[in-house]
Chains A and B, each alone.
Chain A
Amino acid sequence: MDKHNTQARDGHGSHGGSLKSYVIGFLFSIVLTIIPLVVVMNDLLSKTATIAVILVMAVLQFLVQLLFFMHIRDEEKPRFNLMALIFGLVILVTIVAGSIWIMTYNAVAT
């Protein structure tokens, strides 16, 4: 089965995915957008909890796009695309978290 998929993709040079998986991904992404909106606009949670919830929703949204739309799982064996992505994310987290950490005590008083 796996080989069959690889073959089909090689043969047409296209990515996998069906309309069903796109529709599921789309519905997920809508829901994952509405949840943080509702939480923020109605002040449902404390500030820290709200930030945690909306960040988790954003990361899940990223995963939905990656799995359902960008077909990262369909890539064949030496998964260079995925490896490059992980490498990029490591740099991303280092830059963002490192900047926040370094600059925390430099922030203007509120």
Chain B
Amino acid sequence: MAHATTKSAAGAHGGGHGAGHAGGHHEEHHDQESLKTFGFWLFLITDVILFGTLFATFVVLRLNTDGGPTGAELIELNGIIASTFILLTSSFTSGVAVLEMNKGNKRGLILWLAITALLGAAFIYLEVTEFIHLVHEGATIGTSAYWSAFFTLVGTHGLHVSVGLVWMVALMLQLSRRGITPVTTRKVNIISLYWHFLDVVWIFVFTIVYLMGVM
């Protein structure tokens, strides 16, 4: 497969666009990077399946509250709406970071990554606050099948966002040291893929857990 990709990349070169600044070695390097990006897509697919099983579990157990509190009773939609718009905005700002990178603007890139990370941190803060509120109201992960499924699904997403934050901070440090290289470019591209992906997962959490939960 790597061979085929090399061939097609070489073909595009032969297509005769003037600004050929990539030698043979360089070409191979880019090829490695695009292969790594593909590897990241495969990771995202496994994450799709992971969240799929958690969503399936939640949907199946949505009525099994064991006589305890239900989601409709305890969920406060206002905070959830706020965190939804925060995450949507951070998905956009991570895209702006990629645009700054494509322009070769290292400072802009780090700035927009920092804004994205701050929005992500705000999202996590709201989520932790919500979980504390729920536990105070008597809904813990052990209260009923509904709450087990709820905390596992929402918590797994929150964990993904938290991991993304650590990753993003590490990447900002690396960018400030190494600048925009083919390797850091690939890393920024995949972290922005990851971030958009988490936004998509959240939209489904928002729709299925929260909006349907309060209906």
Interface on A for B, CB 8 Å cutoff?
A: 3-4, 6-8, 10-15, 17-19, 22, 25-26, 29-30, 33, 36-37, 40-41, 47, 50-51, 54-55, 57-58, 61-62, 65-66, 69-70, 76-78, 80-81, 84-85, 87-89, 91-92, 95-96, 98-100, 103, 106-108, 110
Number of A-B contacts (CB under 8 A): 161
Give Cα distance in the complex from A77 to B8, angstroms: 8
CB-CB nearest in chain B for A15: B189
Q: Whole-angstrom distance from the CB of B145 to the nearest CB of chain A?
A: 9
Q: Is the interface of B mostly helix, strand, loop or mixed?
A: helix
Binds A, one of B91-99, B132-140, B152-160, B161-169: B91-99
Number of interface residues of B (CB under 8 A): 67
CB-CB nearest in chain A for B205: A58
Identify 23 residue pairs between A and B in the complex whose beta-carbon atoms are under 8 Å apart, listed by A's number.
A3-B12, A7-B12, A10-B9, A10-B22, A12-B185, A22-B92, A22-B96, A25-B95, A26-B92, A29-B88, A30-B88, A50-B215, A54-B207, A54-B212, A55-B207, A65-B199, A78-B8, A80-B38, A84-B41, A88-B45, A88-B48, A95-B49, A108-B63
Contacts of B215 in A (CB 8 A): 40, 47, 50-51
Give Cα distance in the complex from A95 to B200, angstroms: 18
Contacts of B64 in A (CB 8 A): 108
- Indicate if the CB atoms of B42 and A95 lie closer than 8 Å: no
- Indicate if the CB atoms of A99 and B59 lie closer than 8 Å: yes
